[in-house]
Amino acid sequence: MTLKNPTHPGEVLREDVILALGLTVTEAAERLGMSRTALSRVLNCRAAVSIDLALRLEQAGVSTADTWLTLQLNYDLAQTRSHPKPGVRAFCPATVPA
């Protein structure tokens, strides 16, 4: 099942983890061993959840790296699909049922 407009994983992290645990961005960044600025960019949907951040979240006990990367991939695919690439043509002609 593909979502047409999936939520940015930074929003999920902000709402369902950071705020739910009552952490500040600074506290969360310290626990993850990263800069407050880098985490803030993700939480405000201005940067993607990287492989590095996904692994840090996993090590901190916040789901699995696979889950975070799947959320990011689904978001990225939906965003990219909303902007078709001009000049792309099919390799094979479409088959028309008889």
Per-residue pLDDT of the chain in tens (98 residues, 90 and over written 9): 455 799 999 999 999 999 999 999 999 999 999 999 999 999 999 999 999 999 999 999 999 999 999 999 999 999 999 988 899 888 887 766 66
Count Cβ atoms below 10 Å from residue 64 Cβ, excluding itself: 12
- H or E element that contains 96: none
| 3-state secondary structure (DSSP) of residue 75 | helix
Could you tell me the pTM of the whole model? 0.85
Give the integer Cα–Cα distance in Å for 32 and 10. Answer: 14
**Residue among 45, 71, 73, 57 at smallest CA distance from 21:** 57
Amino acid identity of residue 86, one-letter, is P
Give the integer Cα–Cα distance in Å for 65 and 57. Answer: 7
